[in-house]
Structures are given as C-alpha cells and as structure tokens.
Amino acid sequence: MLDCLPERIEPAGLADVGRSFRGEVPVGELVRLLPSLSCSDNALKVQLVFRLDERRLRTLEGSIEGHVDLVCQRCLGTLRLPLDLKFRLGIASDEAQVGRLPDGYEPLLVTGEPMRTYDVIEDEVLLALPAIPLHAGEERCETGYQNQPAAEKRNPFAVLEKLKF
C-alpha cells in the first residue's frame, strides 16, 4: 500500500493490477463541499483499495475517517459531523455494466480517462452529509433569540367598565 494519494486515478487499470493507496485529503480541496462548511482547516484520512473480487469484477473499496464542520441550519453555528465511512464501488464502463452490478456495490462509471482522486472521495463525503444539518436538540443551539411573552394590550373598552351599574 502506497502512503500517498495520486492526483489522478484510472480505476479499471488500478483494479486489474491490485493497487492500494492511503493518505490525507485536506477538506479545503473538496470544492463542492465548501459551501456547506463553517471551517475547512482539517484533513480526512482516506484508504483506497482497487482489486478484482471473486467474480472478477473490478472494485474500489475504501474508507474515510475524520470530521467535517458544517453550518447548523437552526442556529448557524458550527456542527461537527464525525465521519467513519466505508464504501464499495463496482467499476463500470457503461450503463449495461452498471445494471449487472451485484447487490452491495454502488456504481463508479468510468470513461477510460483518468479521474481526479478527490472527486471520488468528495462524492462519498457528500452522500454521507445530512440534507439539513442541525444540532441534535434545540437546547444545543444558541441563537440568542428567545420568545418574549406577548405584552398585554390595553382593552379599548376598559373605560366602559366604569359605567357599568
């Protein structure tokens, strides 16, 4: 296993020869993820294993560990989301191969051209994010806003109360 992630990968060829990589990915390099983040200073630990499985199917198995700091949509504060992802992709070169993938494999459609390693990693992280990031309970969100009781309105007919016998 190589201790560095290549900038570009050709998944089918790497699976044929059984290559493995591990390394760290700066969260700031995951461009599509940036709008959801409150901070991008950390890094994710990534491991990628390309191989042929028992059916001679080209696969990419990987893991991503670390955390991302999202923006809570309730209080707009930082929400730390721990990541411990495991994924298993079946490498397919066309739609027909995608349809033949067995259960347990998500498709990775390749064109034969090298692809950015960070794009594959970023796809898996994006799939793991909640649709609406929120702290676990309202009590954990500190918005500084509190509902105030409604002020008592003066009854315009209060003067008539005095005229009553």
SS3 sequence of the chain: CECCCCCEECHHHHHHHCCEEEEEEEHHHCHHHHHHEEECCCEEEEEEEEEECCCCCEEEEEEEEEEEEEECCCCCCEEEEEEEEEEEEEEECCHHHHHCCCCCCEEEECCCCCEEHHHHHHHHHHHHCCCCCCCCCHHHCCCCCCCCCCCCCCCCCHHHHHHCC
pLDDT digits (tens, 9 = 90+) for 40-97: 899 999 999 999 988 899 999 999 999 999 998 888 888 999 999 999 999 998 888 8
pTM of the model: 0.79
Domain spans of the chain, in order of start? 8-145
